[in-house]
Structure 1
Amino acid sequence: MKQLLCATFEGIDAASVEVQFTATKGLPAFTIVGMANTAITESKERVKSALLSNGFTFPPKRLTVNLAPSDLRKEGSHFDLPIAALIALGNYEGDIGDWYVFGELGLDGSVTENILLYPIILSLANQGAISRAIVPNVSLSKLSKIPNITFYGVDSLSEALELLRAQKLPEEKAHLSTFDFNHIIHNEKSYYYHEHYPLDFIDIKGQEHAKRSALIAAAGMHNLLLEGSPGSGKSMIAKRLVHIMPPLYNDEMLECAKLEILEGKEPSFAPLRPFRSPHHSSTGASIFGGGTHKAQIGEVGLAHGGILFFDELPHFSKTVLEALREPLEDRHIRISRVNTKVTYNANFLFVAAMNPCPCGNLFSTTIACRCSDLEINRYKSRLSDPFLDRIDLYVQMHAVSAEDKPSISSRQLHAKVREAFLRQKMRGQERLNGALSDAEIAHYCPLTPETQHVIDQAIGRFGLSFRAVSRVLKVARTIADIEGESDIGKAHLLEALSYRKR
């Protein structure tokens, strides 16, 4: 029995699959077993045509291909190449070694790519399960960005067979691409960023308080809620925020590309974090992920490492808002179904925008509000206190004024974010301030007797919860980083407290 290695998706991660082949005496037949989906069972016709087109003949035996483990569902046309290669190597007596082989076959034996190859191989690389692979030549430009793997690109089934039979592998290896972007180097690790701002904060006139909160949110990945009248600039700030986010290191950029592919897009490999903005009519399954037999990733998972923006926040269903509390706190989400249980990473910056009342004119000094107190209370009661307790920065935006002027550009804000980011890394933080654990808060956010007294007073006056105190300290830490201070001062703490919703 000969075998090669391939892989399939198990949730959002890949699982290795052994492709095994035997030819036994019996009536001629070709069978694929091992919980293969339609795309794999249909590969029998592609494999037959590819082999016959390249001068191979099917042995008059019972051919059986087993995909192990047999209790794991397999899917994807990239199993074509390993199946065909094993059948073609049926009489080969040499050792073919432990190869990962991926590729979809054309009827003439050509090897083409499958859109799932990149996320599958990246997942295997993160698990340390793969060191070399035979892949389609057309996929090399994307796959070669994954480090620590030797790729051998092939254009046809015959080229793949030559590699598998080779006693000495060719010297030419897949070109390992490097990212050609601006970067910061710290501890021999590169963090990449861009300086292209198609949406610029210079377009926003006035709203200095909101711009300041956007800077703090970006520098420390703190959740942000903007409340203001229609047209005050809430959505403008949210959409510009993604362009001033902290730099990305190599693994994060690869992960962003993986999420783009899972969404059906061509990966850009650019140092730009994801920006997801679901409509308020979206279902819970589309936002959090789900499915009967296979748990699909939702908007929360696709926003990992970037921004999840909820416009018109109170119009989202109560169920969705309450379910959002788990990823906001734990930074992952678990989807449980009868057939599968999957955990997705969900470490994102949550940004929300809302009107102060149903008609939107409560804060206006020129237009009268048409809402009754009952309507306003019912509108705001859609947001529960436990949900609001997970919001780090709450900002009320004033109405637009003729005196408002542009003040600061995205390039200037991004420079401040990068400086604050570097200070966090120089302290030895693996995570940004917004994601610090309780133990890390105690280590990186120490308080003097004066600042501790401020916190104690705030707890008594505003009834802050333990979670709220932790979030205030993390915001104060980010403010100190922006100001270039090594210690949290009283002014930083008071500013952080001013952003709490009361």
Structure 2
Amino acid sequence: MKKLKCLSLSDEIDIIEVESTFTRGLPGFSIVGLANTAIKESTERIKACLMSKNFAFPAQKITINLSPSGIPKQGSHFDLAIAILILLQKQDFKECFVFGELGLDGSVKSTNELFSLLLFLSTKLEKAEVLVPFSLAAKASMIPNLKVYAVNNLDEALEFFTSEQREKFLYSSTHPLFANPIFIKEKAYIQNTDFAFDFKDIKGQENAKFACLIAALGMHNILFEGSPGSGKSMCAKRLVYIMPPQSLNEILAANAYESLNSKECEFSSQRAFRNPHHTSTRASIFGGGTRGAKIGEVALANGGVLFFDEFPHFSKNVIESLREPLEDNQILISRVNSKVRYETKFIFVAAQNPCPYGNLFSHKLNCKCSELEIKRYKNRISAAILDRIDLYVAMDEVRSEDKSSFSSKELSDRVLQGFIFQKQRGQTEFNAKLKDEDLKHFCVLSKEASNTLELAIARFKLSQRAINKSLKVARTCADLKQSEIIEKEHLLEALSFRIKA
């Protein structure tokens, strides 16, 4: 039995072993192992291709098994691996990952999902050898952790496996982004140095800027409420530029998700920023589709920012559906033919007016909304959703004496120092994404802070989720001050950003 390796996307990315056997019996060619139609049809493509090369099929039964057999497989990128196993049935060769669709003339072609599969592979293995179509080699070779070999056709693929000079098929190049990483505890990170939108453009709003600093470092969800033109959207759009540096795996995963969205993507030091319109459908935001499980905005925002402007104007169904991705940091899209799970570790940023007309907080303009209209407007956001918000910011009214203060570069440097402080204590997750069982280890309170928390629980009637979120925000405030222990001042800062009922 001979075998090669490939990948398939089902509930998650799975490494598939392509195995072949030639047994006595009526001549035939079959593929087993829950293969979809595209893979089943490859029998005809491979037959036509091999016969055009004057290959004589043996008078035996050829069985191709895609293992593990219980996982559904899809995609035409299995063609090349299957053809190689048939052609080299009597020869020994070195195993590796093989990808490519075969043309009837023997050419090796790329597929739409192939680049995303390679990106996911690079996040699973620290080092892997892959054989890919030459048309994809330039992009694939820039993916860290992969040693890429490229072929144009089946003849070159055969030469690759039978020749001792495989290195002539090696395609090597390095993306400039990965040339100068920063290292934190011996792990490489890529820092953003492009500040296309700068916090220096925002005059005043010092409380909002401090909230953005906390949100960026700890990846905390944040709600801005204020009059139109107060700077809610400006803060949200600048937040992504001051977030901590990305690890190589985060960059690769972000590009993998983008490629699943059928988008030509480039490696970038900037984290994802998704800003769906309030008229967007539930399927476009959370993923779905009638045939397959398509990726949505909440997954595309993974590692970055998901911004909902005019939050109460989103449909009630969309707003309530945010509960799971905000709480569990993942989303499972289930369809009859497929189930796919995506990570949703992002900063959720929402912006809303204080009332339908928008002037409730204004000292200069009169609000024309009735109490009933304001109540209906507020009630569009349920208590369950508000309980998942870490930081609430009431935006100040714009004044003529307001001036610029911190730049995005200065805020980014503060976030970086806090991020290094996090990593040095052995923390792998952002503070907001810590599991509840990790709080005792990382969120250690001083005696004074512990007493303050007990008073806050009694006074504000905090739920268990609100308590945990307050601890996580306080942990971030302590990180900004390089403090191992959460002191009273850090906890008070965290509680000051809680939504008051």
- Decide whether aligned partners of structure 1 residues 21 and 282 sit closer, same or farther in structure 2, where only a CA change above 3 A counts: farther
Question: What letter is aligned with 2:82?
Answer: I
Q: 1:242 aligns with which of 240, 243, 261?
A: 240
Partner of 1:20: 20
Alignment check: 8 A CA contact 1:288 1:297 kept: yes
Shift of 1:174: 4.4
- Per mean C-alpha deviation after superposition, the further-off stretch among 270-279 and 128-137 is 128-137
Q: Distance in 1 between matches of 2:226 and 2:192?
A: 31
Alignment check: 8 A CA contact 1:40 1:79 kept: yes
Q: 2:159 aligns with which of 156, 162, 171?
A: 162
Question: What letter is aligned with 2:106?
Answer: G
Partner of 1:113: 110
- Decide whether aligned partners of structure 1 residues 359 and 94 sit closer, same or farther in structure 2, where only a CA change above 3 A counts: same
Matches within 5 A, 1:167-316: 169-170=166-167, 173-175=170-172, 177=174, 179-180=177-178, 183-291=181-289, 294-316=292-314
Alignment check: 8 A CA contact 1:181 1:193 kept: no
- Decide whether aligned partners of structure 1 residues 157 and 340 sit closer, same or farther in structure 2, where only a CA change above 3 A counts: closer
Question: What letter is aligned with 1:273?
Answer: R
Q: Distance in 2 between matches of 1:323 and 1:312?
A: 17
Matches within 5 A, 1:373-384: 373-384=371-382
Partner of 1:422: 420
Q: Secondary structure at the match of 1:344?
A: strand
Q: Distance in 1 between matches of 2:339 and 2:78?
A: 25
Matches within 5 A, 1:352-371: 352-371=350-369
Shift of 1:167: 5.3
TM-score (norm 2): 0.89
Partner of 1:152: 149
Partner of 1:329: 327
Alignment check: 8 A CA contact 2:216 2:242 kept: yes
Partner of 1:5: 5
Shift of 1:446: 1.7
Alignment check: 8 A CA contact 2:110 2:135 kept: yes
Partner of 2:134: 137
Alignment check: 8 A CA contact 1:65 1:83 kept: no
Give structure 2 stretches of 5+ with no counterpart.
Answer: none
Aligned residues: 498
Alignment check: 8 A CA contact 2:122 2:252 kept: no
Shift of 1:131: 3.5
Shift of 1:469: 1.8
- Per mean C-alpha deviation after superposition, the further-off stretch among 397-406 and 232-241 is 397-406
Taking every aligned residue pair, what percent have the same amino acid on both sides?
Answer: 50
- Per mean C-alpha deviation after superposition, the further-off stretch among 111-120 and 68-77 is 68-77
Shift of 1:223: 0.6
Q: Secondary structure at the match of 1:77?
A: coil
Q: Distance in 2 between matches of 1:261 and 1:333?
A: 18
Q: Distance in 2 between matches of 1:108 and 1:268?
A: 32
Partner of 2:97: 100
Alignment check: 8 A CA contact 2:7 2:13 kept: no
Alignment check: 8 A CA contact 2:330 2:344 kept: yes
Q: Secondary structure at the match of 1:301?
A: helix
- Decide whether aligned partners of structure 1 residues 277 and 61 sit closer, same or farther in structure 2, where only a CA change above 3 A counts: farther
- Per mean C-alpha deviation after superposition, the further-off stretch among 353-362 and 473-482 is 473-482
Alignment check: 8 A CA contact 1:100 1:130 kept: no
Q: Secondary structure at the match of 1:253?
A: helix
Q: Distance in 2 between matches of 1:438 and 1:35?
A: 39
1:431-487 Cα distance to aligned partner (Å, 9 max, x none): 121122234322222222222222122112211122212211221221222233343
Q: Distance in 2 between matches of 1:71 and 1:199?
A: 49
Give structure 1 stretches of 5+ with no counterpart.
Answer: none
Question: What letter is aligned with 1:9?
Answer: L
Matches within 5 A, 1:37-76: 37-40=36-39, 43=42, 47=46, 50-51=49-50, 55-59=53-57, 66-69=64-67, 72-76=71-75
Matches within 5 A, 1:474-485: 474-485=472-483
Alignment check: 8 A CA contact 2:123 2:252 kept: no
- Per mean C-alpha deviation after superposition, the further-off stretch among 5-14 and 464-473 is 5-14
TM-score (norm 1): 0.89
- Per mean C-alpha deviation after superposition, the further-off stretch among 96-105 and 173-182 is 173-182
Partner of 2:453: 455
- Report the RMSD for the aligned CA atoms in angstroms: 2.9
